[in-house]
Structure 1
Amino acid sequence: MVQDAKQKSTHKTKGHIPQRYVLGVMGFLAVANAYVMRNVLNLAITEMVVTHHKKDIVIDQDSCPGPLPEIKNHTDSANEFNWDEGTQGKILSSFYWGYVITHLPGGIIAERYGGKHVLGYGILCTAVGTILTPFAARQSPYWLIVIRFMEGLGEGTTFPALNTLLAQWTPPLERGKIGSLVFAGNQIGIVFSSTLSGFILEDTKLEWPALFYLFGSITIIWFIGWMLLCYSDPASHPFISVEEKNYLKNTIGHLERNKNLPPVPWKQMLFSIPLWALIIGQIGHDWGLFMIQSDLPKYMKSVLKFSVLENGILSSLPFLIMWLVAILAGWLSDFLVAKNVFTLTTIRKIFITIASVGPASGVIAASYAGCDRTAVVILFCLGMAFMGFFYPSLKVNALDLSPNYAGTLMALVNGIGATSGGITPLIVGLIATNSTMMEWRKIFWITFGVIVLTNIIYNFFGSGEIQPWNDTIVATEEETIKWGTTAENVKCTEENSNVELTFTVPD
């Protein structure tokens, strides 16, 4: 580790705002806006489409009584699309199929050229697609699938670029709290979009297209601020203080990203057991998160019969609790690391186990709470609260394994994990064809199994240690060693590197 990495993580710069915190706040807003735009359709679609219930079907005995809530204060635009559950599943999953494609190129480009523009323009692309969503939906569901796919392409660069930026800006002992702040922006995005969407659809004269115009426009305003305030690394930042530069150089070891990184060590990464454990752990987490994020509003409406305003508030409440816990967990993680209470690997595994077992148990318990709506909401909130431990553990684990290739690792981990978001809506569309409680209980049991199994695998094979393939050197022509008149091979192995370099001395 770099010299003085164990010094205090709290560093105050007199008269200056620490720019790493500015980047942290703007990164938080980036994730929040990204999740606002990703999530807005999840609630809006419950009002855009006709709810399909077969009149002559015998509902299972555990089905909740009462009619679906009446539509209030809406024009003919409410429930204007006759899309069945299968079509809705394809629409909701299409975002994630675009999302996974741009992870890897986004990470590689961010590592080579910096994360600022990769992140900014990617989210701008999603904002434009969000504004175009009402137009696409009114053309056909296939046009909406295309637009959502394109939104996913734009947003797929978000986390790889952010991970690259955090590797350049966050000292090791601040990684937990700054990483938790940034990545927990997804909960605030979900809370904001769900609550505000519910209010707009229930208590105003605005129609569902207003949601997409509003959130897309807010994100464009964020984009302008991002381009003005944030930079790819401390060395290129015109406003950073000398004191903060020195602090970051002492704790991180550099101020400028490595512009001469050798090619990504794909072979070593392919056979890296800790990396594959991290990927598998991410799949389990994303399976649970995206299932709740994408389909909880549908469960709240079709099974528990909540109104759209109640749906918006109560669907967002678990994510608000999760955000609060994530912030506290980030501080706790940094404290445990600083005090050497456990090894970093042990801390990561303890936290991710809490983040897995808690939500898995919560969704199962909620499904057996039946029609007790209060109990269901409380159990979902408790389960998702434990998921807050994910952010200072699994989410920052890629930074632990390889700071130099943090963008590429995040691309692999988050990109492969995000395939869960493309699968879970399709499973809901296949199983919950009549939106009964028993159908949803099957879905929750599948979710439980995936989360627990992937967590077990991570605990056996995961790691919090820097991997040998993180440290590599490139020998250029200018670095060729020339001496004497005798040709010979001189082998040089850099300390702490597993890469052996061979220099040929010419005659």
Structure 2
Amino acid sequence: MTLTGWRYMLNRAIFIPQRYVLGVMGLFALANSFTMRVCLSMTITQMVLHAESTEHIVGETCPDPEGVVKSNVTSNGTTVYEGRHRYDWDEATQGLLLSAFYYGYVLTHLPGGLLAEKFGGKWTLGIGLLVTSIATALTPIAVDYGGAVGLFFIRVIEGCGEGPVTPAFVLLLARWVPPSERSRFGAMIFGGAQVGNIFGPYISGLFLSDGGDWANVFYFFGGLGIIWFIFWMFLCYSTPNSHPFISDEEREYLNKNVVASGLHKKLDPVPFKAILRSAPLWVLIWAAVGHDWGYFTMITDLPKYFSDVLKFNIKETGLMSALPYIAMYIFSFVFAATCDWCVRKRWHSIGFGRKLYTTISSTVPAVFIILASYSGCNRAAAVGLFIASMAFMGGFYSSVKINAMDIAPNYAGTCSALVNGIAAISGIITPYLVGLLTPDQTIGQWRIAFWTVFVVLVGTNIVYLIWGSGEQQWWDDVDKYGYPKGWKHGPLKKRQVDKEKKIVYPKHDHSPVALD
């Protein structure tokens, strides 16, 4: 029996719908991609040299309860470190290194979406994560030979590999998941980011404790990504109709309920002239910029805040950094289930649901982040408030993250690439900006950084509340909706252009005749 035959028999034996297999593999994909993305936030606290003591200024810096700053200490007070070299990188340099990933991430978002629509989400996503995994495993070598420059460039390569992940997954969801299940699947797959944010810092803290070598963190997470890719090759496919061992019942159900035209016919070229003039898309981009500004500040700089300001040791920093994302992951499912249920009950529209949960995931976290910044050196209060802020940010997966599928199910890959690619510029700006704003790691300096997060989150949410949409846009399916009144920018569909070209003038007659 062939390999496909064995997989078909296995699928029949365990009765697992293949869209759930895709969901679980997607969860693992996002989890591993985020562990590779955020592990530097932990390891950099051990890669850099720190002063052995700092003066405690009441009201401006927090006392170190262990009497040392971010060091591994034996019973007699001797610092022990058995890992690789440490580097004399200032706060601005660290911020630049933490932002390097997002240079590559932004660069490959749109090409990744276009490749996914042309060749399918399976290979676009799989090969991208494979590149990131290999680059992660090679990070220690890059740092050994190139120092900060080597680390910067290897992180850019990692970002290039992960750029296509979100647009490819949005396209896969648009072609695999009916609208009534999208919030649930969106939370399942994209919630994997929180699994990565949970285990990335925690496992990194375990590797780094007791003088552990920071290189082991990169070897471990890079190796996991390579193992994931092997399973992805054999278990997941770009569409239900190309899946070799999906059940007939599930294929029929998906063909009946999934609205993306790309599932049933070849799509026309991406209608960029209409997409770039679409107000709902630009409003969605603006909302995503706001969310990413807050989210990337948390995942990139929260470990530094716990370590440098609140003076947690490295193992505690890993645990404290993981707790907010445990809350975010749990609440993402609560919000997703509630949103899907209300849509099915027709208690509110998809558009209203997207705006409601965008507000929950933007304005509420902004308030808790500011409260945390005013908790001073009260470590329990600060951690509790950061946990609350990230819990409410879980509504993002029922709102902005999947809104591209609502307004453009056919071109979800390209639209998601534009949204997430432009929004990810926040990941370039925020770590470097935080580094500039917090040169001395004082509470007052960090408070200014958190106020910028508040202003951006609340401001972009207001814009989305006024102009956001949950309706499919006309340019996503011109056959269904036609052109809007006053459209003056030419046809969007290739076959319309071809038909206009098939006009000739017969011999002895000067009137045009359209050929069939």
- Pair 1:386–1:488, CA change in 2 (3 A): farther
Who is 2:168 aligned against? Answer: 161
Partner residue in 2 for 1:71: 72
Distance 1:58 1:108, change over 3 A: same
Residues 323-373 of structure 1 show CA distances to partners (whole Å, capped at 9, x for unaligned) of 000011111111011011012111110110010112101110001111111
Q: 1:34 corresponds to which residue?
A: 33
In terms of mean alpha carbon deviation, does 257-266 or 298-307 score higher? 257-266
Shift of 1:475: 2.0
- The answer to whether the 8 A contact 2:309-2:442 is kept is yes
Match of 2:276 among 257, 270, 281: 270
Given that 1:487 and 1:505 are in contact with CA atoms closer than 8 Å, whether structure 2 keeps it comes out as no
Given the alignment, which residue of 61, 66, 75 partners 2:59?
Answer: 61
Q: Aligned in 2, Cα 1:297/1:78: closer, same or farther, shift over 3 Å? A: farther
Distance in 1 (alpha carbons) for counterparts of 2:208 and 2:390: 26
Residue 189 of structure 2 aligns with which residue?
Answer: 182
Kept in 2: contact 1:362–1:383 (CA 8 A): yes
Aligned match for 2:397, one of 391, 394, 418: 391
- What secondary structure does 2:400 align onto? coil
Tell me if the contact between 2:502 and 2:514 (Cα under 8 Å) persists in the aligned partners. Answer: yes
Instruction: Please name the residue that 1:501 is paired with.
Output: none
Tell which deviates more after alignment, 359-368 or 249-258: 249-258
Q: 1:488 to 1:188 in 2, by over 3 A?
A: farther
1:230 to 220, 236, 240: 236
Q: Report what 1:131 is aligned to.
A: 137
**More divergent stretch after superposition (72-81 vs 135-144):** 72-81
Higher helix share: 2
Name the counterpart of 1:171.
Answer: 178
Query: Does 1:145 find its partner at 2:144?
Result: no
The amino acid of 1:40's aligned partner reads: C
Instruction: Give the CA deviation at 1:138.
Output: 2.0
Separation of aligned partners in 2, 1:466 and 1:48: 48
Which residue is equivalent to 2:363?
357
Please give the alpha-carbon distance, in whole angstroms, between the structure 1 residues aligned to 2:17 and 2:276: 38
2:412 to 406, 409, 414: 406
Q: Give the counterpart letter for 1:324 in structure 2.
A: I
* 2:93 corresponding residue in structure 1: 87
Q: 1:98 to 1:86 in 2, by over 3 A?
A: same
1:196 equivalent in structure 2: 203
Q: 2-side partners of 1:289 and 1:331: how far apart?
A: 22
Match of 2:436 among 430, 437, 444: 430
Change in Cα spacing, 1:302 to 1:237, as seen in structure 2 (3 Å) is same
Amino acid at match of 2:416: M
User: Which residue pairs with 2:3 in the alignment?
Assistant: none
Residue 214 (structure 2) pairs with residue 215 (structure 1): no
Instruction: State the superposition RMSD in angstroms.
Output: 2.4
Aligned to 1:284, the other structure's residue is in SS state helix
- One-letter amino acid matched to 1:189: G
3-state SS of 1:396 partner? helix
With over 3 angstroms needed to count, the CA separation of the structure-2 counterparts of 1:248 and 1:289, relative to structure 1, is: same
User: What is the distance in 2 between the residues matched to 1:75 and 1:249?
Assistant: 58
State the alpha-carbon separation in 1 of the partners of residues 470 and 260 from structure 2: 21
The answer to whether structure 1 residue 328 and structure 2 residue 331 are counterparts is: no
Counterpart pick for 2:473 among 467, 475, 480: 467
Determine the C-alpha separation between the residues in 1 that align with 2:300 and 2:345: 39
Structure 1's 200 and 278: CA in aligned 2 closer, same or farther, altered over 3 A?
same
Kindly tell me: are residues 360 and 145 of structure 1, through their superposed partners in 2, closer, same or farther at Cα, counting changes over 3 Å?
A: same
Residue range with higher mean Cα deviation, 266-275 or 77-86: 77-86
Question: Mean Cα displacement is larger for which, 261-270 or 63-72?
Answer: 63-72
CA contact (8 A) 1:159 1:414 kept: yes
Change (3 A) 1:319 1:487: farther
**Contact 1:52–1:434 under 8 Å retained in 2:** no
Distance 1:82 1:343 in 2: 54
Deviation at 1:14, TM superposition (A): 9.5
Which residue pairs with 2:287 in the alignment? Answer: 281
Q: What residue in structure 2 maps to residue 443 of structure 1?
A: 449
Q: Distance in 2 between matches of 1:462 and 1:63?
A: 42
| Separation in structure 1 between the aligned mates of residue 407 and residue 510 of structure 2, nearest angstrom | 39
Partners of 1:245 and 1:255 within 8 A in 2: no
Are residues 1:342 and 2:348 paired? yes
In the alignment, the residues of structure 1 paired with residue 234 and residue 420 of structure 2 have an alpha-carbon distance, to the nearest angstrom, of 28
Alignment CA distance shift 1:15-1:202 (3 Å)? closer
How many Å separate the matches in 2 of 1:58 and 1:260?
65
Are the counterparts in 2 of residues 52 and 84 from structure 1 also a CA contact under 8 Å?
no
Separation in 1 of the partners of 2:296 and 2:200?
15
The runs of 5 or more residues in structure 1 that have no matched partner are 1-12, 490-503
* Aligned mates of 2:14, 2:436 — CA distance in 1: 59
Identity of aligned residues (%): 47
Q: Which runs of 5+ in 2 are unaligned?
A: 1-11, 75-79, 479-492
Residue 263 of structure 1 deviates from its aligned partner by: 2.0
Q: Give the C-alpha shift of residue 487 in structure 1.
A: 9.0
Q: Given that residues 304 and 373 in structure 1 are in contact (C-alpha distance below 8 angstroms), is that contact kept between their aligned partners in structure 2?
A: yes
Distance 1:256 1:413, change over 3 A: closer
Deviation per CA, 1:205-252: give whole Å up to 9, x if none: 641100100110011000000011000000110110000011101111
How many angstroms apart in 1 are the aligned matches of 2:264 and 2:292?
A: 31
In structure 2, give the amino acid aligned to 1:28.
L
| Greater CA drift, 304-313 or 131-140 | 131-140
Q: What residue identity is the alignment partner of 1:385?
A: A
Tell me the secondary structure at the aligned position of residue 395 of structure 1.
Answer: helix
- AA paired with 2:35? V
How many Å separate the matches in 1 of 2:511 and 2:471?
37
User: Which of 297, 301, 311 is the aligned partner of 1:291?
Assistant: 297
> Aligned in 2, Cα 1:259/1:124: closer, same or farther, shift over 3 Å?
farther
TM-score (norm 1): 0.90
Q: Is the 8 A contact 2:184 2:340 kept in 1?
A: yes
**Aligned-partner Cα distance in 1 for 2:102–2:114:** 20
**Residue-by-residue CA offset, 1:157-192 (whole Å, 9 max, x unaligned):** 100111111111001110110011111111100101
Instruction: Give, in whole Å, the separation in 2 of the partners of 1:243 and 1:380.
Output: 45
1:314 aligns with 2:320: yes
Conservation of the 8 A alpha-carbon contact between 1:362 and 1:379: yes
**Equivalences, count:** 479
Contact 1:358 1:384 in 2 (8 A): no
* Contact 2:167/2:413, CA 8 A, preserved across alignment: yes
* 2:256 counterpart (246, 250, 259): 250
Q: Give CA-to-partner distance per residue, 1:54-94, whole Å, 9 cap, x none.
A: 95x78462421124243148534367111111111111111
* Contact kept in structure 1, 2:82 and 2:213, CA below 8 Å: no
Q: Quote the offset at 1:260 in angstroms.
A: 3.1
Distance between the aligned counterparts of 1:243 and 1:410, measured in 2?
30
